[in-house]
């Protein structure tokens, strides 16, 4: 939403992107929390809960987005219908398609990480899967070198974010006393160096540069570290509420923005504020009517 404010957009594209900070922190948290879940549940129970946790709200948000933003598309075209169908699987990034729901592209990468961790647990290697962070980091650096050699961009973000989740998993293992802190520091240091190297060697995306990308990534690391350090501080009700509706807000922010752009004309600052309020209200409704009941059904089914 804030990217539509000119001065903020210029700052974000040149120096420090808040969205990238959030994505990095999200994958660190995911690596940590998924480890907690898999330690407590079996693989099948974990997957059932994840399906019921992610897909129902996603289906609703994607459907709204298709109505408000893609109504003029050629709905009789087989290619377009195939793209829509693949987007409903949540795996569109894995086949080279863009996300019709904007920021939901991260969910494809999430499912790759889930699959990796489930396989690691089935093989009795879950405690050691953090080491795959080094492998994913090597893939990221290699792809950036290949970009420079071949002269065109490659999807290097995916291996980097998988390495980031591995770092979150290592943080959990360290917190549990399974890893020594030095192992976590070594993996984190390797990722910091790899991100800086990749940003310098690889081709610059039009929305990124060799300064913005690493600074934003390091900001995500710092945000996660700060939040973890504050984990024992008394809960703030407003922040707990935001955490509760965060997934629904993540899904609905873009459809709400597109809808309001069609309906009202306001100065950019006012429109951004209205977007935020409406998106939060819509997220609370989606959580109460879809996300919460399906989460409960998923837990009951998993127990059976």
pLDDT of residue 193: 95
**Cα three-residue angle 128-129-130, rounded to 5 degrees:** 90
pTM given for the model: 0.91
Q: What is the Cα gyration radius of the chain?
A: 20
Long-range contact set of residues 261-268: C-beta below 8 Å, sequence gap at least 24: 262/68, 268/4, 268/5, 268/6
Q: Where are the domains of the chain?
A: 19-235
pLDDT digits (tens, 9 = 90+) for 204-235: 665 556 778 888 999 999 999 998 888 877 67
Over residues 229-262, the pLDDT tens digits come to 888 776 778 888 888 999 999 999 999 988 988 8
Q: What is the mean pLDDT of residues 32-59?
A: 94
The pLDDT tens digits of the residues spanning 51-67 come to 999 999 999 999 999 99
Q: What is the average per-residue pLDDT within 182-201?
A: 93
Burial of 220 per CB tally in 10 Å (0-12, 13-18, 19+): buried
Percent of the chain with pLDDT over 90: 64
- What number of CA atoms fall less than 13 Å from residue 139's CA on the CB side? 16
Out of 104-113, 269-278, 295-304, pick the least confident: 269-278
Q: What does the mean pLDDT of the chain come to?
A: 89
């Amino acid at each position: 939403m804030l990217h539509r404010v000119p001065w903020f957009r210029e700052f974000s594209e040149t120096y420090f992107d808040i969205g990238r900070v959030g994505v990095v922190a999200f994958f660190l948290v995911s690596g940590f929390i998924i480890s907690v879940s898999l330690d407590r549940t079996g693989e099948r129970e974990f997957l059932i809960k994840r399906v019921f946790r992610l897909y129902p709200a996603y289906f609703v948000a994607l459907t709204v987005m298709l109505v408000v933003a893609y109504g003029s598309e050629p709905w009789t075209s087989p290619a377009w219908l195939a793209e829509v169908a693949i987007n409903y699987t949540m795996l569109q990034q894995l086949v080279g398609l863009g996300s019709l729901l904007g920021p939901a592209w991260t969910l494809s990468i999430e499912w790759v990480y889930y699959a990796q961790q489930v396989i690691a647990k089935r093989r009795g290697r879950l405690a050691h899967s953090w080491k795959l962070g080094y492998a994913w980091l090597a893939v990221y650096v290699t792809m950036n070198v290949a970009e420079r050699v071949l002269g065109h961009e490659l999807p290097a973000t995916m291996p980097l974010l998988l390495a980031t989740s591995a770092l979150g998993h290592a943080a959990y293992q360290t917190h549990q006393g399974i890893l020594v802190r030095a192992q976590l520091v070594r993996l984190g240091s390797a990722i910091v160096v790899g991100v800086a190297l990749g940003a310098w060697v690889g081709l610059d995306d039009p929305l990124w540069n060799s300064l913005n990308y690493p600074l934003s990534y390091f900001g995500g690391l710092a945000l996660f570290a700060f939040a973890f350090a504050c984990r024992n501080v008394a809960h703030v009700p407003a922040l707990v509420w935001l955490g509760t509706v965060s997934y629904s807000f993540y899904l609905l922010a873009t459809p709400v923005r597109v809808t309001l752009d069609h309906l009202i004309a306001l100065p950019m600052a006012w429109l951004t504020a209205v977007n935020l309020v409406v998106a939060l209200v819509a997220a609370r409704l989606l959580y109460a009517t879809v996300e919460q009941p399906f989460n409960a059904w998923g837990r009951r089914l998993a127990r059976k």
